[in-house]
Structure 1
């Protein structure tokens, strides 16, 4: 860790059952015209209507763009931006999963700074004007996008997931109401839950980790391991849902300040080329990547193992690191995370593009934060290993 650290998060976070009711009041403080950015599922389940009602009660004029899907693209961004500019909106409300929030973040920057969202990758184009403020309302417990400085948008021309990171992308307000996650189906609960687990673990082992992020990451890891199964089995388990929503937010704050590592670097190309939901592709990679990384992150993986299994804390560091990996593999097994072959990816195509994916993964910058920085060839090997990975094979006997 360098001599000093930087730590950022939203201006305000409202967490807990019923916190959605703060939307109107907060939006009215930020602007007069709101654009709600969401998807058709949120319209169907009534969450968009709730937002419209709360904004209306607060006297905030509102418009909507509801065409975002599970993988936000530059087309979604340009379409939403057109509505925003035409209606002269001065506040954005993003409700849904990470895709909706990421799209809103991109719109917020482009509305005041112009250009194409890819122009801002790696700081190539400076953000000179203050973006439109975003109120982010997650309906899944996973991405943590409501508290992060990152947006990931697919470039539809080149099939590349563009990651843009900038402090101005942190939403002004995060409203984390666990009640909104109750309707999340089991498969999405599993995918987003493991996404949050990846955020927390990667933030903890990252070369950019710091004391504040360590505390949040370890808390999130413990909460997720202990509550994701319950949320998966029973979507209306209020205690499990509440703790998962909290863990997702904690993990989001942790990784936006400490960064993600190799899992996310390898995951984005899979999503871009095969349209696998982000959380699932992360889950497919996590155990194998931790095995690859283990010797370079032994102490930290051992700390996680001792927290997850305090009854085994007398084991050696290497054994505790194995406990950590095996606990994760057992969790993936219990919530039915498939490997890439079982999921149905085209193996021939996968093999053909593995080298391109490895190049794209390294270009994202995330692998350089990993305790063990891989070569392109090592990433290709990991892709092949993960394609047929067996989550049920454990190094330790977990009872």
Structure 2
């Protein structure tokens, strides 16, 4: 079997890393940027922490901020128009997965105009050209989009999330600066952190997992278990913020290359149909789907439990595996994640539509245990 591993060419880490931006732009011989961000980050001043660096360096840029929390095909098309009108030769993405995913869509379409309808990018599109250069600066510790070859865009017409997988979309440079995450509200810190944990656990047990990806995912699980409560409960504590900033990147390095599973397959339609934040959907589903997958993952679950600090001495393999599921649920509850679909306005009558999209989602086949649409219905009902 041949395994592939794709990463950024260059990444920078640490408090104040955004100050490397002028050097990065000069090295890449770039001259003007389209800054892709959202209105919330402009309002609270987080985006300004980056644009101030550009201003001080005299680097030209325009801003595109019409990006929704669950970005759409329309967001990408508007962004392409903004890029062309600006005369930019690169994109600086400031934000969470929404900004970075939108930037990827823009960059791919600009470089591959035959995919201008955007919908044709779903799945593994046969693009020929690398995206225009993207420099990604995450403001959340969750998606890891700054190092992945994936992006997710909502097809409004069909009310579904398109998962796009394309090595040509990976940002040229990632700048992971935890100072950009300090203003992240408690709820978003929790949701994005649990999203990162979902990436790590699904990447560890997915059918495509192998020794190299396992190494990354276990380190990420350990760091998230240690640092997420600190980041949520003490948001100005640099230990928690820096730990989560690095952990989510580590998790993403691996899952980007080996895939995910049923948690993401079931979470995506919750976002497209009900606009549920992606991290919340993942966190709510994760413990229940871990229990569903347990027959295929007994030994790995025991490792997860120990990695999260559970003493499994004297436990059977099954007990240790259940302890992993319990530890994940306890962490979700501790950081304030809703535990029921009904808390999010989803009714039992909505479940068939969710299940129909989940069974067709590109992430679902990577699940370690094969699943039917009927089983997905029952899993949604368990967390109703």
Distance 1:237 1:343 in 2: 30
CA shift for structure 1 position 279? 0.1
Runs of 4+ in 1 over 4 A off after TM superposition: none
1:147-191 Cα distance to aligned partner (Å, 9 max, x none): 100010011111100110011111110000111111111000010
- 1:78 matched to 2:77? The reply is yes
Which residue of structure 2 aligns with residue 384 of structure 1? 381
Task: Please provide the CA RMSD for this pair.
Answer: 1.4
Question: Is the 1:92–1:134 contact (alpha carbons within 8 Å) kept by the matching residues of 2?
Answer: yes
Question: Is the 2:77–2:118 contact (alpha carbons within 8 Å) kept by the matching residues of 1?
Answer: no
Which residue of structure 2 aligns with residue 43 of structure 1? 42
Which residue of structure 1 aligns with residue 224 of structure 2? 224
Distance 1:157 1:310 in 2: 46
1:197-241 Cα distance to aligned partner (Å, 9 max, x none): 000000000110121211110011111111111111111011011
Distance 2:46 2:341 in 1: 35
Aligned positions of 1:228-307 closer than 5 A: 228-307=228-307
Question: Is the 2:148–2:252 contact (alpha carbons within 8 Å) kept by the matching residues of 1?
Answer: yes
- 1:117 matched to 2:118? The reply is yes
Aligned positions of 1:1-399 closer than 5 A: 3-30=1-28, 31-114=30-113, 115-123=116-124, 125-309=125-309, 311-341=311-341, 343-347=343-347, 351-387=348-384
Deviates further, 264-273 or 223-232: 223-232
Distance 2:44 2:20 in 1: 20
Contiguous gaps of at least 5 residues in structure 2: none
Distance 2:309 2:17 in 1: 34
CA shift for structure 1 position 88? 2.4
Distance 1:90 1:56 in 2: 17
Distance 1:51 1:238 in 2: 19
Distance 2:3 2:353 in 1: 34
1:338-377 Cα distance to aligned partner (Å, 9 max, x none): 1234523141xxx333223222212222121111111010
1:359-396 Cα distance to aligned partner (Å, 9 max, x none): 22122221211111110100011111111xxxxxxxxx
1:262-301 Cα distance to aligned partner (Å, 9 max, x none): 1000000001001010000001100110010001111111
Deviates further, 312-321 or 368-377: 312-321
So what's the TM-score if we normalise by structure 2?
A: 0.96
Contiguous gaps of at least 5 residues in structure 1: 388-399
Distance 1:337 1:359 in 2: 25
CA shift for structure 1 position 306? 2.1
